[in-house]
Structure 1
């Protein structure tokens, strides 16, 4: 109960405690997303491999048998913290390497189009129509490259533990959605009755979020994607519910209930979730199957 409201670097627990023993505490910590990575040192009067194995299997990082000196326990704490730091750095390095590999792969197609267009423009005797077509293709791919670079920079800031810095403005939601999904095939924007809805958001990042969600919904479903939005009245009972506008992006069927935070290592979705939170909104998703997926982007309504 105390740990629920604390961020700690290390937990030292006795294996024999009233109400909740050490094994139970370790299992709860490992099941809690907030504390699953916190290192744990277990203290016990029970010697032997069986007792130590039980604690280590439950998720303890070290097992210290009583009696022990203060110096020994401090040394174990230091070594456990150092090993945890090294594991965190290794995981961060691996994540950055995976992000760079994905970024490099995504660059290949637009770069090849730009290079092909430039080669065509360098040819002698090229007619005006072909020249204009090459310029348009190069310009379109440069827009894609700009999006990829900005997405990569946002991902780099997240990996480095730095906050995203949104540039928010009051925008017409309908115009923003249509502009974001203009080049996405098979997307249907449902008509919304009433006056236009205005939201406070970072237009560039929000457009990128919507493109990402449309692509994910299309890939997970049957090719068709629907988009709609509804105003959400603030729930006075819910502490963190400020209301706003929910933009739903769904594919392969009608939207599904039962939302949960986005998870996984998908760079685009992780960046989208962080970008939504940075501008005061949130990104959530419903059950995803081979036939259906459902995303909800909460945006702040402009006053």
Structure 2
């Protein structure tokens, strides 16, 4: 994640049981998607400061590379002061980094190369300090790593690792769901959905009709007249015939085709959703964002 499109992290209230990771406090037992969303919601430093730091890190690297690859003549005094000035600037710049604000201790431990890169290499060359060759190459490596780190920005490593882990989890889950759907579709293709539904309705005919009859008026003049005239018996027989007719209609090929179309439409919608690889949106340099399935550093 680069700092130029960067979201301040809200500290966890004491007593919430939050744990502290390498990039600062976070709530325990979060899913990978929730961790990515939490990382994206943190505040990052100003983009102008980010790109200025990257430019200076590149300049300090080039300055040292020019001397290492050059004729190794006497170092100009201007270079010495320039390198010392950059060392002071980077010592202060380190304190402005997003990751340092999130978790100072963890950030210092994981960014030892920053302290190596801050060392004024030109001063070591100028004064010919002991083991100067070793220190120069060590500082050169540190500055290369620092330039890459400043380009990528805080959160890049952690976000991409979380995205890859989320991808494995998502791919496995999707494959399982697709196999289940394929099995269900195969089973549906071998049978008649409407016939099965009609059979269930036929088995439960009495209980369903009892619930229907329970809605008939049981008291009053109308109920008394219906019982005396035998109208209630006629009505019950009409309900039975209607119920049987509904069962027969449900058995028809037309209803079976309609049910299959509805199920296929639902399965197609699920499959379209599964085809979206949302975890890929969190890979790369850009800041992660909410996925299509969720309205949900270094």
What range describes the TM-score normalised by the shorter chain of this pair? 0.3 to 0.5
- Length-normalised TM-score, structure 1: 0.32
Structure number with greater Rg is 2
- Length-normalised TM-score, structure 2: 0.33
More helix per residue: 2
More strand per residue: 1
